[in-house]
Amino acid sequence: MGLGAAARALMRAAYRLVRFPFHLVDDVVLPVVFDEQAPVRRAYGKFLLGCDGAAAYLLADDTAAVHAAFLRGRSAAFHDAITRHPSSIHTESDVVMMHHRARFRERRSATCPPGHSTTRPPR
């Protein structure tokens, strides 16, 4: 084992010690405090993904690579769920727009008989 390999092994061990509390917060604390769609959880997950990806690349850490792959998969699954299901806000606004259009058509048909134009003829 050369000097570079020994230094990497020491840095991998230090990174695993530092990483433990961060992953503990991600696995135990954040799910209790925030729901899965909270921006804080998503940002924290991206932060951990970046740290694990950098450690996997720079330190040749297989454990960090596995954690990064897991976080990447979890993030991708979350984004797929968002794109597959329309937001309730958009659904509610569509319902409101349909209601407004129906009211507009009712009022228009009550004031303007069918076949008559509501626009003025050109001068």
Query: Looking at residue 96, what is its pLDDT?
Result: 81
Query: Across 1-5, 14-18, 112-116, 118-122, which has the greatest mean pLDDT?
Result: 14-18
Pair 68, 49: CB distance under 8 Å: yes
Q: Is residue 67 part of a domain?
A: yes
**CA dist 84 → 6, 38, 41, 80 (Å):** 48, 18, 20, 6
CA-to-CA dists, residue 85 to 2, 63, 72, angstroms: 53, 33, 20
Domain assignment of residue 121, yes or no: no
Question: What's at 103, amino acid-wise?
Answer: R
Reported pTM: 0.56
Q: The domain containing residue 91 runs over which residues?
A: 3-111
Domain membership flag for residue 47? yes
Strands (E) across 73-119 are located at none
Domain count of the fold of the chain: 1
Q: Is residue 116 part of a domain?
A: no
Chain segment 79-115, per-residue pLDDT in tens: 666 666 666 556 677 778 888 888 888 888 777 766 6
What tokens were used for 47?
């932060």
In a domain, 118, yes or no: no
Out of 3-7, 48-52, 88-92, 101-105, least confident range? 88-92
Q: What is the per-residue pLDDT for 67?
A: 82
Specify the range with the lowest mean pLDDT, choosing from 1-5, 43-47, 73-77, 79-83.
Answer: 79-83
Percentage with pLDDT > 70 across the chain? 76
Q: Is residue 120 part of a domain?
A: no
